[in-house]
Chains A and B, each alone.
Chain A
């Protein structure tokens, strides 16, 4: 290819010959995609599988765990995590607050207390940050999303119980806030001023229907929704159009997930926390299992009822290990 271009550039081909060449090129591209379409292979997956930056079968490396600061009483039933402002924020749900740690896992603060007034929590659940470093926390029982500054001072309520029923997982992508509404079984998309833009899914168990979605994650054009009560993950595009379903390998009839929760995407892999089986599954773009992390237990590389998950830009995987009352960090 490069050779041909060099030749063209150096020798200066006649226009007609170039034209012919381009038409041929078009035909070739069309033919390739026709073939791919007929054999039902996703060209993006096909190409991305061949690209060097996918990580093959190599497992992420365990880095460390965070049990919370002893002084503050540790974590109690933590549910979700995010990494923003160079800080790790964990919803410490049992203690009805949020704990903040630096990148090495040292405690640097906490915010929030029990209650139902603005800035207080009953069941703090999803957590995410925007490009300005503001922190968004959903409260499943107060039915709202509160915004805090990076140090944890309350800023405002972004959406309240008129717009939300039981908000769970949160994710911000392209200045759009994705919220899984567990009770309404849909994902609601807001702009960062709290205006609702879109709803994805509706209650049910069929295709494009959801049951108690606990988490949502966005990568490029793809919105991954953990359809917890249907034991699967459904993928939509950012306009809410259904793409596919993950969890059923090789035409298996039963899902590999039981009560799936957090989802993270990194290096061509989709990570899904299967809460009740205590594994995090790594899938390739076709939904085939590559490997698992965890397994029920208390050792470093075990998990006990993993819930929320977040993957940062450097490929660090943060997994909330809820029954072990800790956060585990892996490097992808």
Chain B
């Protein structure tokens, strides 16, 4: 009797064990099948492609076609991805941005924790290759002195050579705003600039709004402007129209509300039936910065600067801008006058130019334009960066750090950016 009971218990528990292991086995065997997704939710560099529209892209509708869609195609529209930078999901407008979080949001991916893109904190990418932009993180102490654009910590008005009063004026309209990654880059890629640089940096484009240009028509229906692309996102709203940032179309001086459409990318206005009379437009032409990135995100990445860099940096550092080209013999500057070095010229012959980078500006027929980028990096620099910087050949001797107060985002420490051309002494010479 006892024995029967024992074997019974044994058999029952055996059955239980089997049941559990079958369950475990079945669990293993069940597979959710192929991984789902729309094919673009990885963070690999998006192939340059001018025809495909990636449904997950961050590009806005008006930019949907014909754009070299190579950036940020990993954002997803049907999630709350927009909310990380915009306060509400129902209506998105410039006023609803949560500015304070933009820089942190950028660095959720650009801090080295996503290795298929650039780490702007350490200034490199996956295989340790240095970025052209320099670095935001690094050693601040001693001669290794890091200097950087202090995003998230100051207002744009803090820019040396800018309007320290912080009020909008004829040179910029965002002086009073917080200085963020998005002051220089537009995450949506408006304007199709090099490195998604902002087409309205410090309100430069808004200030240069075209107030009534007569558009020419090839066929009575389509009227075009040469100053394309136009900036979008300024609602075409009659009640709000007096706002100085909006786009508007007039026929014989009468503002049109219906019967036409605008292609912001090409600056073309198409009417549904041919209008009689003169067509004029008020619009904001995008500010252009161009350049090329070859072998993107590989060890051989090579950046070529083209147009717009002096004006770009000069949008905030107004006094140093090319608009007031200095020549060392007269005073220049908007807010503060000083004798300033000439730049914006072509430097095709002369000494070595070691470690400096010139722009290939076809628009100005210059192959070696001397710009802000010649001596400065965009994000920041410290000793480790100088040690690694790839075009410093000839300056290999440079091992020391910076001896002045700030290393001023320079491509090379101390006087090296000057000695590259003037060759009065060793690059390491201090001030």
| A residues whose Cβ falls under 8 Å from a Cβ of B | 8-9, 12, 15, 18, 22, 25-26, 29-30, 33, 36-37, 40-45, 47, 123, 140-141, 166, 168, 182-183, 185, 205-207, 211-212, 214, 221, 228-232, 237, 241-245, 248, 251-259, 275-279, 287, 295-296, 304-305, 322-323
Contacts and interface: CB of A to CB of B under 8 A. Distances in A.
Contacts of B154: none
Interface of B: 1, 4-5, 8, 11-12, 15, 18-19, 22-24, 26-32, 34-38, 41-44, 56, 74-76, 78-81, 83-84, 87, 98, 101, 104-105, 108-109, 112-116, 122, 126
A40 B105 CA distance: 40
Given A12-B4, A44-B24, A251-B36, A259 B114 contact: yes
Nearest to B83: A296
Contacts, number: 170
A225 to B, nearest CB: 13
B359 to A, nearest CB: 33
A256 B24 CA distance: 28
Contacts of A140: 112-113
Main secondary structure of the interface of B (DSSP, over half): loop
A254 B37 contact: yes
A123 B112 contact: yes
A314 to B, nearest CB: 27
Given A229-B42, A229-B44, 16 more contacts: A33-B26, A42-B30, A43-B22, A141-B112, A211-B114, A212-B116, A229-B116, A231-B76, A244-B30, A254-B79, A255-B37, A259-B114, A277-B84, A279-B80, A296-B83, A304-B101
A275 B15 CA distance: 46
B43 A211 contact: yes
B8 A18 contact: yes
Contact of B1 (A12, A41, A252): A12
Given A206-B35, A207-B35, A305 B105 contact: yes
Contacts of A295: 80, 83
A254 B56 CA distance: 8
Contacts of B74: 231
Contact of B84 (A183, A228, A252, A276): A276
A253 B55 CA distance: 11
Contacts of A168: 113
Given A305-B105, A323-B104, A29 B113 contact: no
B76 A258 contact: yes
Which 8 pairs across A and B sit closest by C-beta, in order of nearness? A43-B23, A205-B42, A229-B43, A323-B104, A244-B32, A248-B36, A277-B80, A231-B41
Contacts of B109: 259, 276
A287 B44 CA distance: 25
29 contacts: A9-B5, A29-B19, A29-B22, A30-B22, A33-B19, A33-B23, A42-B26, A42-B27, A43-B22, A43-B26, A166-B112, A166-B115, A205-B44, A207-B34, A228-B113, A229-B115, A230-B37, A231-B74, A237-B28, A248-B35, A248-B36, A253-B38, A255-B41, A258-B81, A258-B84, A277-B84, A278-B83, A296-B84, A323-B101
Given A44-B23, A305-B108, A323-B101, A229 B28 contact: no
B23 A256 contact: no
A241 B104 CA distance: 36
A144 B26 CA distance: 39
A22 B15 CA distance: 8
A255 B76 contact: yes
Contact of B108 (A26, A242, A254, A276): A276
Nearest to A323: B104
A254 B55 CA distance: 10
A255 to B, nearest CB: 6
Nearest to A19: B11
Contacts of B56: 254
B104 A305 contact: yes
